[in-house]
Amino acid sequence: MEKLVNELIQKAGLSPEMAQKASSVVLNYLNNNLPDSLKGKGESLLNGNFDVKSLLGNNESGGDSITDKVKGLF
């Protein structure tokens, strides 16, 4: 989450302490609102460390698309 913290410091003008708090709020929000198949992957998503195939699902065998997985998140 270091990248997110740095973005908040540079682009939003937050202090390092406030940027850390804000990133924690975002992480908690993601972890609490992501679909079950993505639960616990909030920090990986924020860090850009994820397997796109696992996010997209396997539609040929009935898996949900990424649109279905994040529907209602925001």
Residues 13-54: pLDDT tens digits?
A: 999 999 999 999 998 898 888 888 777 777 777 777 766 665
Grade residue 68 by pLDDT with cuts at 50, 70 and 90.
low
User: Would you say the pTM of this structure is higher than 0.75?
Assistant: no
In this predicted structure, what is the pLDDT of residue 43? Answer: 79
pLDDT over 80 at 10, yes or no: yes
In this predicted structure, what is the pLDDT of residue 72? Answer: 66
- Structure tokens, 39: 């639960």
Q: Looking at residue 72, what DSSP letter applies? A: T
Burial of 25 per CB tally in 10 Å (0-12, 13-18, 19+): exposed
